[in-house]
Amino acid sequence: MGFRAEFDPANKILLLRIEGRFTDELAAEVYRAIRKYSIATDASAGIFDCSSVTAFAVSPDFIRQLARQEPSMPDALRRPRIIVAPTALGFGLARMFQIMGEPTRPLLQVVRSLEEALAAPGVQSQPFEPLQ
Model confidence over 50-102: pLDDT tens digits?
Answer: 999 999 999 999 999 999 999 999 998 899 999 999 999 999 999 999 999 99
Q: Are 58 and 24 in contact (CB under 8 A)?
A: yes
pLDDT number for residue 104: 94
Q: Are 110 and 91 in contact (CB under 8 A)?
A: yes
Mean predicted lDDT score pLDDT of the chain: 94
pLDDT number for residue 70: 95
Q: What is each CA distance from 66 to 15, 49, 108, in whole angstroms? A: 19, 17, 14
Residue 26 has pLDDT above 70, yes or no: yes
2-121 is classed CATH 3.30.750.24: yes
One-letter identity of residue 112: R
One-letter identity of residue 128: F
Helix 60-68 and helix 88-101: axis angle, to 10°?
30
Q: Output the pTM of the full model.
A: 0.94
